[in-house]
Amino acid sequence: MIRRWSPNKINPAVTILFFGRRIGRKKKKTASISFSIKPTRDKTEILIRLHEKIVCLSKKVEVNNLVFSLLISENKQKAKAMINLNNVHKSYVMGNNKLHVLKGIDLHIEQGDFVSIMGSSGSGKSTLLNILGMLDNYDEGSYYLNGTLIANMSEKKAAQYRNEMVGFVFQSFNLISFKNAMENVALPLYYKGVSRKKRNLMAMEYLDKLGLREWAGHMPNEMSGGQKQRVAIARALIAQPKIILADEPTGALDTATSYEVMEILKEINGDGITVIIVTHEHDIAAMTRQIVRLKDGLIHEIIRNGELKEFRHAYMKELETV
């Protein structure tokens, strides 16, 4: 028997009580709380869920012979989000020095959104993107990717979920220099155990989509920057991820080629894939639907679709001259 109770919002401080005893407290603007009762042979477990981290995370509390496990959960609306970061912190420790890079990031990105992350060099853009792509861990807070809490996963499970969910595109393309375009694109399928024949066939399909069929047999050093980035995008797409994460995808390209790459990312987004790019170029950011600005380890500003007009007006003039 599982009973559920989930009021929409509780405001502003949540005190969790059972049989009149206070077992947890949460000071927050809003919190969503639910609990389920799971009787097993020798104990009754009550799971209490709050949509954000609470102090007594996974601590077990015994009251009147009942064992309480306090866990993190999501309210319904947030569970639908593709990306949900709550109070995420990240520091790098080097010897005696600790560099606090992310100081409490709250970020909510819907499925199918097209987002750019901006900020000065060293502001933590790549750190944030690496956390989103499960390439790096965070120290504090919570990160849900498509409803799954990304924390304490085994390396194997993380790799599996990452391969299923995320495709990466990098500034420096990161192609394997001794493999041709088709083999580079096919690589993610090799790791998935797809046969050579099938993965090469699919690689050709994706190269074709990106206008590179004729370049399938060429090595990366025989291709232009724009072509290499298109190969990298094909490689990111071949495993059919739900998100594309791109760290300065146009950083090594001239303006005209940058805009071509952005057009491709826009099309990919049009197919329903969530696209998140890091960029420090305003005109590139202006082509996305939401701009997240990082400053001093925090989100300084989010410019949303409706408010982008002025931003575009200021920065998209360059487009007309191309």
Ligand X SMILES: Nc1ncnc2c1ncn2[C@@H]1O[C@H](COP(=O)(O)OP(=O)(O)O)[C@@H](O)[C@H]1O
- Residues near ligand X (CB under 6 A): 92, 94, 99, 101, 119, 121-127
CB of residue 279 vs ligand X: minimum separation in angstroms?
10
Q: Burial-class residue 264 by CB neighbours within 10 Å (0-12, 13-18, 19+).
A: buried
Taking CB within 5 to 8 Å according to partner kind, which of Mg ion, ligand X, none is near residue 101? Answer: ligand X
Residue with smaller CB distance to ligand X, 122 or 211 = 122
Residue with smaller CB distance to ligand X, 121 or 152 = 121
3-class state of residue 260 by DSSP: helix
DSSP character string of 271-310? TT-EEEEE-S-HHHHTTSSEEEEEETTEEEEEE-GGGHHH
Interacting residues with Mg ion (CB under 5 A): 126
Decide: 128 and 117 in contact? Cβ < 8 Å. yes
CB of residue 276 vs Mg ion: minimum separation in angstroms?
13
Taking CB within 5 to 8 Å according to partner kind, which of Mg ion, ligand X, none is near residue 127? Answer: ligand X
Could you tell me the two tokens for 186? 């096919």
Taking CB within 5 to 8 Å according to partner kind, which of ligand X, Mg ion, none is near residue 191? Answer: none
Omega cis (within 30) before 12: yes
Q: Burial-class residue 313 by CB neighbours within 10 Å (0-12, 13-18, 19+).
A: exposed
CB of residue 129 vs Mg ion: minimum separation in angstroms?
8
Taking CB within 5 to 8 Å according to partner kind, which of ligand X, Mg ion, none is near residue 55? Answer: none
Of residues 190, 219, 215, the one with CA closest to residue 204 = 215
CB of residue 255 vs ligand X: minimum separation in angstroms?
21
Per-residue b or e along 138-169, where b marks 16 or more CB atoms closer than 10 Å to that residue's CB = beebbbbbbeeebeebeeeeeeebbeebbbbb
3-class state of residue 150 by DSSP: coil
Taking CB within 5 to 8 Å according to partner kind, which of ligand X, Mg ion, none is near residue 124? Answer: ligand X
CB of residue 123 vs Mg ion: minimum separation in angstroms?
9
Residue with smaller CB distance to ligand X, 36 or 174 = 174
Residue with smaller CB distance to ligand X, 55 or 94 = 94
Residue with smaller CB distance to ligand X, 1 or 94 = 94
CB of residue 96 vs ligand X: minimum separation in angstroms?
13
Q: List Cα–Cα distances, 107 to 49, 147, 242, 275, 279, in angstroms.
A: 20, 14, 18, 15, 17
Residue with smaller CB distance to ligand X, 120 or 160 = 120
CB of residue 99 vs ligand X: minimum separation in angstroms?
6
Residue with smaller CB distance to ligand X, 122 or 217 = 122
The beta-strand segments (E) located in 174-268 are 243-247
Taking CB within 5 to 8 Å according to partner kind, which of ligand X, Mg ion, none is near residue 99? Answer: ligand X
Taking CB within 5 to 8 Å according to partner kind, which of ligand X, Mg ion, none is near residue 178? Answer: none
